């Protein structure tokens, strides 16, 4: 029996064989007569094609998945304002307190290796069902005022289950919207991915101050429950599985039909080789993807570093009240809003260039990333040298936060759009690789930023981070020039 090789090559590179590992399919195929029909694409006007969904259904899909992302992202940072006395009756260090966010991010880093194969082997809707239910249930142990061990375990599994919607977001938008609409949908998605974590500490501070620590979890559980009900009205959007179902239906009618995905049924070996290890192979083999993952990981990690730095600036140095300390998070949200405007505003120009060239031009997306690359070190340096000083008006570090929020969001969303344009059917795996790396970088920064500030001073820490931003800033300009040539030699992003 012919089997696919290890997951270091795309499955489409394999030579298809008629004998499958799925015993049921093989047995059925042996008794069918007539030529073999390969169901590998949708016919024009086929209403089961996700690209042909009605506008109302597309908008509903977008709303539900964006809100699942939003809820998970809010949850990741909602406990960051909780003082040590709230988390534990015994004295704990600030680093231990940061674990309430770091463990969610650790779950975010491991979750893509679970949900990416689940998405591709069993479908995105089933993945959402399992993951959303798990995300809701693991709000219970963190909501009942548990001991630290239970709290930390609950937060870790909230990250494991909550990241499923984040992993699926880009791929699902690519399933139902064509590349011409991707700039507009990305402008919406960035609100869920970037604005939501900045809103989490504000919500958390208000609930801790006015209600009770447990309500941080109960609120997320209530919203998650509503979305869990809403998601049942969402249809499967992963085309290979839809085509497989069409092939199965034809075989039941006596027609000898088969879908390409049936060449590699979801056995343990296939799932491991083709789905779990694929993101790691892509990172190892594709230098453009590796750069994008490193660069967007740095920008994403800096977002969570700001959540740790804000209390230092506005509570310790500027002596704001408890809730007021977290209100400056709105400054990052303003930057994210400007990013959305940029994505929407630049999309017509991008489409015009594609029309003139007669093909999709992913490298043209990098023009926006170049803007973010210039702004990132400026925002970090400006915040580091103005935030801690009471003599400097609060508007100055606020402007720095807006610049940083705009830059990090622009870098991240441009990475997502470029990845989906280039890697197409492997886009989910590419985004999974990105998710693993960016979450690990965020965990690292959350856990060390206080130590860095203590050892290097606030100004020194942010000067160091700005230096890293300046060091990698030429990357988007290089990729814009070299990207097409790299894609010509890439196993995963072939032209």
Per-residue model confidence (pLDDT) at position 463: 95
What pTM did the predictor assign? Answer: 0.81
- Does the pLDDT value for residue 182 go beyond 50? yes
307/89: higher pLDDT: 307
Task: Give the tens place of pLDDT for each residue, 376-425.
Answer: 999 999 999 999 998 999 999 999 999 999 999 899 888 888 888 888 77
Cα separation, 288 vs 148, whole angstroms: 41
Cα separation, 39 vs 175, whole angstroms: 18
- Tell which residue, 267, 269, 260, 263, has the closest CA to residue 242: 260
- What's the 3-state SS for the chain? CCCCCCCCCCHHHCCCCCCCCCHHHHHHHHHCCCCCEECCCCCCCCCCCHHHCCHHHHHHHHHHHHHHHHHHHHHHHCCCCCCHHHHCCCCCCHHHHCHHHHHHHHHHHHCHHHHHHHHHHHCHHHHHHHHHHHHHHCCHHHHCCCCHHHHHHHHHHHHHHHHHHHHHHHHHHHHHCCCCCHHHHHHHHHHHHHHHHHHHHHHHHHHHHHCCCCHHHHHHHHHHHHHHHHHHHCCCCCHHHHHHHHHHHHHHCCCCEECHHHHCCCCHHHHHHHHHCHHHHHHHHCHHHHHHHHHHHHHHHHHHHHHHHHHHHHHHHCCCCHHHHHCCHHHHHHHHHHHHHHHHHHHHHHHHHHHHHCCCCHHHHHHHHHHHHHHHHHHHHHHHHHCCCCCCCCHHHHHHHHHHHHHHHHHHHHHHHHHHHHHHHHHHHHHHHHHHHHHHHHHHHHHHHHHHHHHHHHHHHHHHHHHHHHHHCCHHHHHHHHHHHHHHHCCCCCC
Dihedrals phi, psi of 88, to nearest 5 degrees: -150, 145
Q: Are 379 and 400 in contact (CB under 8 A)?
A: yes
Cα separation, 41 vs 116, whole angstroms: 22
Torsion of Cα atoms, 269 then 272 then 274 then 275, to 10°: 140
107/94: higher pLDDT: 107
- pLDDT tier at 7, thresholds 50, 70, 90: very low
Half-sphere exposure of 251 (CA within 13 A, CB side): 21
- Does the pLDDT value for residue 28 go beyond 60? no
Tell whether the torsion through CA atoms of 95, 97, 100 and 103 is positive or negative. positive
Task: Give the tens place of pLDDT for each residue, 244-293.
Answer: 888 888 888 888 888 887 777 767 777 777 777 888 888 888 888 888 88
Task: Give the tens place of pLDDT for each residue, 195-221.
Answer: 788 888 899 999 988 888 889 999 999
Residue 460's contacts (CB-CB under 8 Å, 6 or more residues apart) are none
- Tell which residue, 70, 293, 299, has the closest CA to residue 197: 70
Per-residue model confidence (pLDDT) at position 364: 87
Half-sphere exposure of 460 (CA within 13 A, CB side): 8
Cα separation, 267 vs 3, whole angstroms: 11
- Tell which residue, 198, 129, 192, has the closest CA to residue 166: 192
Q: In the predicted model, what is the mean pLDDT of the chain?
A: 83
95/468: higher pLDDT: 468
- pLDDT tier at 133, thresholds 50, 70, 90: very high
Per-residue model confidence (pLDDT) at position 57: 92
442/26: higher pLDDT: 442
Helix pair angle (366-386, 427-472), 10° resolution: 50
Per-residue model confidence (pLDDT) at position 8: 37
Cα separation, 171 vs 279, whole angstroms: 14
Longest CA–CA span in the chain (Å) reads: 84
- pLDDT tier at 374, thresholds 50, 70, 90: very high
- pLDDT tier at 86, thresholds 50, 70, 90: low
- Domains belonging to the chain, first-starting first, are 54-236+277-489 (1.20.1250.20)
């Amino acid at each position: 029996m012919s089997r696919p090789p290890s997951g270091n090559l795309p499955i489409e590179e394999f030579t298809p064989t008629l004998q499958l590992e799925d015993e049921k399919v093989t047995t059925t195929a042996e008794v069918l007569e007539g030529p073999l029909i390969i169901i590998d694409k949708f016919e024009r006007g086929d209403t089961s094609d996700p690209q042909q969904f009605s506008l109302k259904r597309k908008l509903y899909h977008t709303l539900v998945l964006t809100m699942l992302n939003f809820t998970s992202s809010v949850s990741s940072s909602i406990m960051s304002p909780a003082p040590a006395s709230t988390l534990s009756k015994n004295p704990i260090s600030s680093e231990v307190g940061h674990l309430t966010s770091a463990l969610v991010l650790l779950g975010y880093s491991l979750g893509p290796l679970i949900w990416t194969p689940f998405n591709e082997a069993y479908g995105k809707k089933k993945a959402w069902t399992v993951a959303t239910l798990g995300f809701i249930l693991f709000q219970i142990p963190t909501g009942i005022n548990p001991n630290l061990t239970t709290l930390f375990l609950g937060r870790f599994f909230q990250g494991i289950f909550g990241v499923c919607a984040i992993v699926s977001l880009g791929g699902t938008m690519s399933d139902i919207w064509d590349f011409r609409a991707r700039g507009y949908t990305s402008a919406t998605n960035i609100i869920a991915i970037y604005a939501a974590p900045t809103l989490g500490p504000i919500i958390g501070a208000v609930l801790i101050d006015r209600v009770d620590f447990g309500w941080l979890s109960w609120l997320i559980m209530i919203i998650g429950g509503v979305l869990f009900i809403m998601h049942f009205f969402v249809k499967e959007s992963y085309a290979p599985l839809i085509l497989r179902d069409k092939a199965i239906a034809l075989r039941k009618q006596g027609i000898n039909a088969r879908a390409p995905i049936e060449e590699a049924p979801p056995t343990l070996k296939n799932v491991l080789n083709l789905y779990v290890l694929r993101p790691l192979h892509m990172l190892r083999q594709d230098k453009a993807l590796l750069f994008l993952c490193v660069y967007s990981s740095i920008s994403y990690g800096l977002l969570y570093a700001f959540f740790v730095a804000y209390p230092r600036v506005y509570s310790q140095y500027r002596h704001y009240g408890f809730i007021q300390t977290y209100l400056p998070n709105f400054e990052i949200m303003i930057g994210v809003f400007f990013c959305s405007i940029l994505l929407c505003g630049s999309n017509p120009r991008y489409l015009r260039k594609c029309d003139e060239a007669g093909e999709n031009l992913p490298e043209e997306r990098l023009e926006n990333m170049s803007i973010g690359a210039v702004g990132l070190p400026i925002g970090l340096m400006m915040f580091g040298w103005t935030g801690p000083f009471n003599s400097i008006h609060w508007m100055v570090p606020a402007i720095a936060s807006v610049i940083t929020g705009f830059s990090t969001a622009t870098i991240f969303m441009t990475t997502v759009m470029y990845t989906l344009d280039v890697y197409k059917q492997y886009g989910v795996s590419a985004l999974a690789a990105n998710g693993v790396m960016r979450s690990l970088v965020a965990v690292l920064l959350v856990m060390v930023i206080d130590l860095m500030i203590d050892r290097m001073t606030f100004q020194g820490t942010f000067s160091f981070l700005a230096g890293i931003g300046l060091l990698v800033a030429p990357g988007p300009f290089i990729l814009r020039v070299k990207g097409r040539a790299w894609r010509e030699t890439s196993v995963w992003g072939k032209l």
